[in-house]
Amino acid sequence: TYPEGCEAFRNVSPNIVPDESVMKNDEGLVNEQRYTTNNLVELLEKSADLLAQAERYEVTGEIYKLVIPVYEQDRNFNALSVAYNNLSQAYSKVVAAMASRKRLLGSYFRVAFFGEDFGSDNRKQFIYKEPKVMSLSEISLRLEKLYSVKFGGDKVKLILESAKVNVEKLESGINYIQITYVEHYFEEDELTERPTVFERNNNIRRFSFETPFTKTGKSHGSLVEQLKRKTILTTSHCFPYVKTRILVVQEEQYELTPIEVAIDEMCKKVQEITEVTMSNPPDMKKLQLKLQGSVGTQVNAGPLAYAKAFLHEKVVRDHPPKLVSKLKVVYRDFIRCCGAALDLNDQLIQDDQKMYQEDLKDKYSSMRHELASYIDLNLAASSCSISSIGSSKA
């Protein structure tokens, strides 16, 4: 039926190829039932139903791409009718989910184990996938209770800090569980290839978390003191998987200097504002929250604080020119995407929010003037439209 073998199922899940490639075939089996095309079709139909229950409607299409040719070959028009009806319902639910933005596809946590009682899990770390919105405190309490029952309450301790654990300093005879909230991680080109929320929550195996620190040993300091360690973890398989936890097989760490922290934070703001501005249909509530956090903040707080800390004429020479130039580029992008967001908000609001819009415009104008001296901004240029969002050159 599928000459390419398990490779035909790659679009359903990349996990199928490595897992099924090592499975034995059914040649020579005597006491076991051989799989037939009908068996496979039944399982695929059941898979489509389960995917719908899991709200992963987009994958339903990949399932029916495998099933429909069989129906056509068998002239099974009744099954074809049901299949296309199911597909229609699935894609209608995709449209509804994208419009409502209420579909929750899971939360992820890095869980590391330290202790002899953990056996083969000792000194290993896993990514746990939890349903819907799970808080750090909820999963922490659950795992603490689980292992306290198994090992004894006095032998289990939680580590809720994300910093690297010094095993030598851990108390002997105690089993430690370190739990950290993580987010899925994508390179820039991957974000372009995964434009929808679903695609950024499906077939994912790279996750990241950040640990703030300073040279004095404190977690937090002033902007010019603040350092950040970014950790990127890669799992052996993609989520979703048949298991709710997957072993971490690779760890990368990068330390960011204070000006690099500023660049990273401003890049996040640009990305967040751009995404909410380009979303279809528009989410006015989220748009206004992003605008309020970007142009509605105090002069010495938020985005302007980084400009004062790193781009002021008295301190700008203290930082590498290449990073200074990069930060200026990000600020220009930030100004442009805020202008585009304001333009969109102007189109969406009703009469009762006109004064609010005027207030945001005034604050945006003040921010542009404040930033002009730091980033060589051309104030004669009009605020950008949505179509002008994009990277600029220093």
Q: Whole-angstrom Cα distance, residue 298 to residue 253?
A: 33
- pLDDT of the residue at 101: 83
Token pair for residue 215? 């040279």
Residue 47 has pLDDT above 80, yes or no: yes
pLDDT confidence bin for 394, thresholds 50/70/90: very low
Identify the bridge partners of residue 184 per DSSP, sorted by sequence position: 207
pLDDT at 37: 86
Q: Does domain 260-373 have CATH number 1.20.58.740?
A: yes
Find the Cα–Cα–Cα–Cα dihedral 324, 212, 210, 260, rounded to 10°: 10
The boundaries of every CATH 1.25.40.410 domain in the chain are 5-100
| Start-end of CATH 1.20.58.740 domains in the chain | 260-373
At 128, the pLDDT band (50, 70, 90 cuts) reads very high
pTM: 0.84
Q: What is the pLDDT of residues 241-276, one digit of tens each?
A: 999 999 999 999 999 999 999 999 999 999 999 989
Contact, 210 vs 229, CB < 8 A?
Answer: yes
Question: Which of the listed CATH numbers 3.30.70.360, 3.40.120.10, 1.25.40.410, 3.30.470.20 matches domain 5-100?
Answer: 1.25.40.410
pLDDT at 382: 37
Question: Could you please report the per-residue DSSP string of 73-104?
Answer: HTT-HHHHHHHHHHHHHHHHHHHHHHHH----
Q: Residue 26: pLDDT band by 50, 70, 90 thresholds?
A: low
Which H/E stretch holds residue 179? Answer: strand 175-184
Place of tokens 């002997």: 172
Band the pLDDT of 302: cuts 50, 70, 90. Answer: confident
Give the pLDDT of residue 99.
85
| Rounded Cα–Cα distance for residues 83 and 61 (Å) | 10
Residue 370: CB atoms within 10 Å = 15
Residues 197, 170: contact at Cβ < 8 Å? no
Is pLDDT at 32 greater than 60 in this prediction? no
- DSSP-based three-state secondary structure for 7: helix
Instruction: Express each pLDDT in 174-204 by its tens digit.
Output: 999 999 999 999 998 898 899 889 999 999 9
How far from 12 is each of 1, 21, 71, 131, 238, CA to CA, in Å?
Answer: 17, 15, 19, 20, 12
| pLDDT value of position 388 | 33
Q: What is the mean pLDDT of residues 142-169?
A: 93
